Amino acid sequence: MGIDSMAGKPIITVNHLDMGYDGFMVMRDLTFTVNKGDIFIIMGGSGCGKSTLLKILIGLKEPSRGQVFYNNVSFWETGPEERQGIMKRFGTLYQSGALWSSMTLAENVILPLEQYTELSPGQMREIASLKLSLVGLAGFEDFYPSEISGGMRKRAGIARAMALDPDILFFDEPSAGLDPVSARLLDDLILDLRDSLGTTIVVVTHELASIFIIGNNSIYLDVDSRTMTASGDPKKLLAETKDPSVRRFLTRGAEGA
C-alpha cells in the first residue's frame, strides 16, 4: 500500500486539454499527470464532464484542443493504428458494466484474448477462469450477464478489462448503484489490483468514501468555472485546500458554503 505518486514515472500526461460537444465547451485547459502505479481519481459534481474526459482518455471522443500523451506518444495526433496499439494496453470498466449480453462471462473475457493473442481455446478458457476468480466470480464462467447481480456484473466487467493484463485500468463510476458493502469490496479489489499487479488505475467517481480509501492522486473538475480547480492526494486536499467548491465537495457540503 501507499505507493508514492512521485515514485512512478509519468504514464499519462494531459496538456491544456479542452473538451466539448457541438460548440458547447464542457471543460477547458485541463493539465495533469498520472504516474505509474497511481490510483488517480477524476472527481467533480454531476454533469461536470468527468465521463467526457474519460471518453477522451480511452479514445472514444476526440478533444477540442490539447494533447494526451501515453508514455510520451501523443495519443490523438498519432496514426489510427498506433492509437489502436496504445488502446490495446488499456482495460475499461464502464458504468453499467457493458458486458456483451449475448455472451457468457467467460466468452466476454475470451473475446479480447481471441482478438489479440494466438492462445489455444483451452488456454483462453483457463485465463478467463483465472480472471473471473480474481474478481470473486469463480464458477460463474457460463452465466450470462442477465443472470447475475449488478455488483457481480461490475466485477465481471473488471475481469474483462483485465483480460489482456493492461498497463492502465479505467473505471467509470465503479461503485454507482452498489450497496455500501459491495462498494467497499470493489474498493478493496481495486487496491489489490494496483498493489499486486502494479497497474495504474484511473477512476472517475464522486463517491467520497471511495475517493479517500483508494485515491493517491486526483483532479477536481469544477462545474461552474469549467476547469480543474484542484489536484493532488485527496486526503491532502481535504486537509489543505482553501478552494470553497473543493472543500464543499470533499466535506459533502459541510464546509466551504
Partner 1 sequence: MNVNNRTTPGPSENSLNFSQSPDGTLLIQIRGDWKLGNPLPSADEVERELTAGGRAQRIRFEASELKDWDSALLTFLIKIKEYCSRNQILLEPEGLPEGARRLLRLASVVPERKGVSKEIKTESFLPFMGGKAIAFFRSATKMIAFIGEATIALSKFFVGKATFRRSDLLLLLQECGAQALPVVSLISVLLGLILGFVGAIELKLFGAQLFVADVVAIGMVRVMGAIMTGIIMAGRTGAAFAAQLGTMEVNEEIDALKTLGISPMEFLVLPRMIALVIMMPLLCVYSDLLGILGGLIVGVGMLDLGLTEYLNRTREALSLTTFGIGILHSAVFGVLVALSGCLRGMQSGRSASAVGYAATSAVVTGIVAIIVATAVITYVCQVLGI
SS3 124: helix
Q: How many CB atoms lie within 10 A of CB 10?
A: 14
> Among residues 111 and 238, whose Cβ is nearest to partner 1?
111
Q: Which residues bind partner 1 (CB under 8 A)?
A: 58-60, 84, 87-88, 90, 92, 94-96, 98-102, 111-112, 115-116, 160
Whole-number minimum distance, CB 96 to partner 1, in Å?
Answer: 5
- Cβ 98 to partner 1 shortest distance, Å: 4
How many C-beta neighbours within 10 Å does residue 205 have? Answer: 24
Strand order in the sheet with 10-21: 24-35, 10-21, 65-70, 73-74
Nearest distance in Å: CB 201, partner 1: 16
Closest CA to 99 of 176, 158, 166, 140: 158
Of 155 and 234, nearer to partner 1 (C-beta) is 155
Task: Measure the CA–CA gap between 73 and 11, rounded to whole angstroms.
Answer: 10
The span from the CA of 161 to the CA of 154, in Å, is 10
Q: CB–CB of 30/219 below 8 Å?
A: yes
Q: Which is nearer to partner 1, 164 or 237 (CB)?
A: 164
**Could you tell me the smallest distance in angstroms from the CB atom of residue 240 to partner 1?**
28
Of 151 and 234, nearer to partner 1 (C-beta) is 151
Euclidean distance between CA atoms 249 and 92, whole angstroms:
26
CB-wise, 174 or 234, nearer to partner 1?
A: 174
Q: In terms of CB distance, is 90 or 249 closer to partner 1? A: 90
Dihedral in degrees, nearest 10, Cα atoms 180, 145, 85, 191: 20
Cβ 154 to partner 1 shortest distance, Å: 13
CB of 93 to partner 1, least distance (A): 9
